[in-house]
Amino acid sequence: MADSDLTRFLSHWPRTTGEFQVRELQADDGRMLLQVRIDLGVIQMEAEGRPDGQRPGGHRSLVDAAGDRSAREDGPLVLDAQECRAVRDEAVQFYHRYVAFFNLNRFEAVIRDADHALRCLDLCRDHAGSEDDRRRLEHLRPQFFTMKVRAAAELAMSHRQPRAAMAAIDQGLSELEELLGPDAARRSNEVHLLRGMREMLVPKLPSSQRVELEERLQAALDDENYELAAILRDELRMMKD
């Protein structure tokens, strides 16, 4: 059908190589949508609920549907392979949307969607019937978690709260290193990314923070925690006079 041809629509929003092109717009009925321009067209997502607009079993998501099912069933909730596949697909949908929101600086929405993607992983990990389905997407957990931490730090910085941003990163690093274990944490791109964010934040801390850092440095030396002491010394060097 002629009215299904997207040629004119796409010509008014040409693809720019090397850029992530996303925009937010309002549908005819007032609901908000996201559109992402890709090489071969455009992806459209709902801004609320599931990105594809589906309501499985009348619920906002498969995670919510599983929670309702668990509350109604007598025994433990067990997901079969097809159900786990559907939950993984939902996690990937929320991943694509939080990337779009991050590029729009919609950090609260990023936190919400990254948290939902993590809940999808939790659902499969805790209730899948097979070991393969329990582990299938676990390699993405550090990535989803790190995006949630980044968004929390960016949100704090948008409100001119560098201390809150630093606290979010410190807490995130602690949880991420615990999740990965010491050996994997040393090799983790996500850990290095958060540490890089932290280093960029140090010069933006108020000068009164210097006293607190000096006290933490002395405490680390007293405890013979020389690795932490080295980090704190670097932070003090980076602080503005």
Q: What pLDDT sits at residue 160? A: 84
Please indicate, yes or no, whether residues 55 and 155 belong to a single structural domain of this protein: yes
Please indicate, yes or no, whether residues 182 and 121 belong to a single structural domain of this protein: yes
Element holding 45 (H helix, E strand): strand 41-46
38 has which bridge partners? 41
Q: What pLDDT sits at residue 208? A: 55
Pairwise CA distance, residues 167 & 63, whole Å? 29
Please indicate, yes or no, whether residues 65 and 159 belong to a single structural domain of this protein: yes
- Domain of 27 in residue numbering reads as 1-48
Per-residue pLDDT in tens (0 to 9) along the chain, 241 residues: 457 888 998 999 999 988 899 999 999 999 999 999 999 999 999 999 999 999 999 999 999 999 999 888 888 899 999 999 999 999 999 999 999 999 999 999 999 999 999 999 999 999 999 999 999 999 999 999 999 999 999 999 998 888 899 899 999 999 999 999 989 999 999 999 999 988 888 776 665 566 667 777 778 888 888 877 787 777 766 664 4
Tokens of 57: 């079993």
Please indicate, yes or no, whether residues 121 and 216 belong to a single structural domain of this protein: no
Please indicate, yes or no, whether residues 198 and 236 belong to a single structural domain of this protein: no
Q: What pLDDT sits at residue 205? A: 67
Please indicate, yes or no, whether residues 30 and 76 belong to a single structural domain of this protein: no
Among the three residues 48, 63, 81, which one is the final residue of a domain in this structure? 48
Per-residue model confidence as pLDDT tens digits over 21-44: 999 999 999 999 999 999 999 999
Q: Which residues contact 55 (CB under 8 A, 6 or more apart)?
A: 49
DSSP E strands, the chain: 21-26, 32-38, 41-46
Please indicate, yes or no, whether residues 131 and 85 belong to a single structural domain of this protein: yes
Please indicate, yes or no, whether residues 36 and 63 belong to a single structural domain of this protein: no
Please indicate, yes or no, whether residues 68 and 82 belong to a single structural domain of this protein: yes
Pairwise CA distance, residues 60 & 65, whole Å? 8
Rounded (5°) CA angle 205-211-215: 120
Please indicate, yes or no, whether residues 21 and 119 belong to a single structural domain of this protein: no
Identify the three-state secondary structure at position 46: strand
Helix, strand and coil percent figures for the chain, each rounded to 5: 65, 10, 25
Please indicate, yes or no, whether residues 90 and 194 belong to a single structural domain of this protein: yes
The number of domains in the chain is 3
Please indicate, yes or no, whether residues 78 and 37 belong to a single structural domain of this protein: no
